[in-house]
Structure 1
């Protein structure tokens, strides 16, 4: 048998696996539905460290929430810009807004996790909606997510906001979030997949029911970790609570990063708690490179061409569903290559003991600052 034919056939099978899972998850992952119960209060909680460019718009969108009572609590985490002053100005005009000051980071904690834990202590709501300062909530987001929690019994409801992408550097990094979620996570993080290792979460948009949050230990239970949404969802499932990923594009928008360098640094920070493990990363490399990169090297072999076509069709379906820019689709092979480069860089840096830096803090391979 021709060697190129054999490799092309293998590439086709590697492409069909995420395609089958992607089709299923495009059906399973849906927008949240439901109405919050009487007396519900959603605490919209924003950890903020040097966010003067984002914080005012973030708060304005949060205050535009309808269908449920809200409070907005911002935790200023050691900002050296005008973040705190901007929040104070808004709070003076609207009593639903409060500014809190984060205590110094204790040993063994990561920065955002510590700020979120302190936010939960200050919150008064029945539901805690953690968002990043660069997230813009839609008016019905808080009510719909709280209602979905009540209707389904899911203690955590989370989703990936519609990602705004404005540069080539973002286009070859950010879209892999949704692609991996839809195409490689069995069940797409829905509540019927109860296993903790099948849990998923997005820290940009994460609502938790207050009693379940407290019972599972909340952010205090994951104090030394970086990927807060993923780790908290696993923790909550391990404690017996349901968590669910919903379609986030109708709920909020977010521009995570503003270029390649920022994207690279941001994704490396979380990689160590995801794919970048000595056992897992070689498997991920074979699966992703074999399905989406190796077929290019095997062209014009027919099976390689079919594998490549399946890959682009899958990426197109996910991109359209999550409302990301269409022009990012042709860049998919480059995005896969960059994703693997990020993961391998994170793994090597971790094995060498080099810290990952973010927002002026350096985190060791074990997550501690």
Structure 2
């Protein structure tokens, strides 16, 4: 009787591994399909006479100087850059003021308090617009403080396409990592973003909020950031509303044009994941979240499970190996895209467990030390 049960379990493990391998093959195809749907990095036919750039910043002393210098090297020069300092406790204010004293296009604004119920990032953006938008800028640009424009034509491509097509235009950046831990997490996130929510899908409603441009007409047709004041993932909320209004959204292949720095520690990555997943978690029952977590655990750990079962039945060894090879192959696309170490793809059966853990954790949302009280 026991032998029959063991044999049944071995067959089940083998079948699950084959199914899992098939899913990873689909992920590989969808990843490619998503990348092919990205717009080419070519400028539009029309160029605005000037643009306003808003950059919220909090404790960005390691990044803000590089961001400013990359903007100063752009071949599109007629911009005003407003950096809104969200009560930084590091050297961010001094760095920004130093650049502002040498470059008349740079403005510095500091805010100390965030109104209850507001997203800190959105409030900073709104304050920047209130103080420095005089209504004469045909295109508005929103850049995160850790963004680096790699090529001199990056800004021109963004603003000219937004102006030409009267659209929201974003760039798919390269995610830069300073630590191996960062690479381990970002490899998984890039893979799942393109495979599950890629731009090849008609229902896709998101863009990269770290770097985007929009015409003034479209921005205020959407209600501006004020309409999304309490959203944790404001770029997705904006994209969803834009789709309802049938507003054109373009995402450009910007891997060679722009990069943004991802979080260095696993803790920061989990906090970011909790913010990204907050809308889903808020509207999903605990039972369903547990079910999703179990599926994610099995999906990533299946090669290990099958390998353990092969100790009893060696026939499972090639099945486990194939499952692992395909899983690594899918994630290798992300490592090549972001120029990360292959190790981050090789370890995905283990590092993938961060996702189900994040789904199950229910805690205070945070962003750079600030508690978030926004609606999801």
Same fold (TM over 0.5): yes
Q: Residue 47 of structure 2 contacts residue 159 of structure 2 at CA under 8 Å; is this kept in 1?
A: no
Q: Residue 48 of structure 2 contacts residue 163 of structure 2 at CA under 8 Å; is this kept in 1?
A: no
Matched, 1:230 2:236: yes
SS in 2 for 1:107: coil
Matched, 1:78 2:87: yes
Following TM superposition, by how much is the alpha carbon of 1:18 offset from its aligned partner in structure 2, in angstroms? 1.5
Partner of 1:65: 74
Q: Residue 58 of structure 2 contacts residue 368 of structure 2 at CA under 8 Å; is this kept in 1?
A: yes
CA distance in 2, matches of 1:49, 1:293: 37
Following TM superposition, by how much is the alpha carbon of 1:172 offset from its aligned partner in structure 2, in angstroms? 2.5
Q: Closer, same or farther in 2 for the Cα pair 1:365/1:176, shift >3 Å?
A: farther
Partner of 1:293: 301
Partner of 1:203: 209
Unpaired runs of 5+ residues, structure 1, are none
SS in 2 for 1:175: helix
Q: Residue 355 of structure 1 contacts residue 365 of structure 1 at CA under 8 Å; is this kept in 2?
A: no
Partner of 1:49: 58
Kindly report which structure 2 residues correspond to 1:126-165, keeping only aligned pairs within 5 A, or say none: 126-138=138-150, 139-150=152-163, 153=165, 155-165=167-177
Following TM superposition, by how much is the alpha carbon of 1:223 offset from its aligned partner in structure 2, in angstroms? 0.8
C-alpha distance after superposition, 1:231-257 (max 9, x if no partner): 221122222212233323222222222
Q: Residue 37 of structure 1 contacts residue 150 of structure 1 at CA under 8 Å; is this kept in 2?
A: yes
Q: Is the radius of gyration larger for structure 1 or structure 2? A: 2
Matched, 1:10 2:12: no
Q: Closer, same or farther in 2 for the Cα pair 1:261/1:39, shift >3 Å?
A: closer
SS in 1 for 2:148: strand
Instruction: Select between 262-271 and 217-226 the one with higher mean Cα deviation.
Output: 262-271
C-alpha distance after superposition, 1:298-349 (max 9, x if no partner): 135244433322221111123213433333221222332112222321xxx1
Q: Closer, same or farther in 2 for the Cα pair 1:119/1:176, shift >3 Å?
A: farther
C-alpha distance after superposition, 1:73-103 (max 9, x if no partner): 1112222333233222212211111112337
Unpaired runs of 5+ residues, structure 2, are 1-7, 311-315
CA distance in 1, matches of 2:275, 2:188: 15
Following TM superposition, by how much is the alpha carbon of 1:135 offset from its aligned partner in structure 2, in angstroms? 1.3
C-alpha RMSD of matched pairs (Å): 2.7
Q: Closer, same or farther in 2 for the Cα pair 1:324/1:146, shift >3 Å?
A: farther
Partner of 1:92: 101
Q: Closer, same or farther in 2 for the Cα pair 1:337/1:246, shift >3 Å?
A: farther
Number of aligned positions between the proteins = 353
Following TM superposition, by how much is the alpha carbon of 1:63 offset from its aligned partner in structure 2, in angstroms? 1.7
Partner of 1:177: 189
Normalized against structure 2, the TM-score is what? 0.83
Q: Closer, same or farther in 2 for the Cα pair 1:149/1:39, shift >3 Å?
A: closer
Matched, 1:104 2:113: yes
SS in 2 for 1:71: strand
CA distance in 2, matches of 1:277, 1:17: 28
CA distance in 2, matches of 1:69, 1:283: 52
Q: Closer, same or farther in 2 for the Cα pair 1:41/1:289, shift >3 Å?
A: farther
Q: Residue 249 of structure 1 contacts residue 323 of structure 1 at CA under 8 Å; is this kept in 2?
A: no
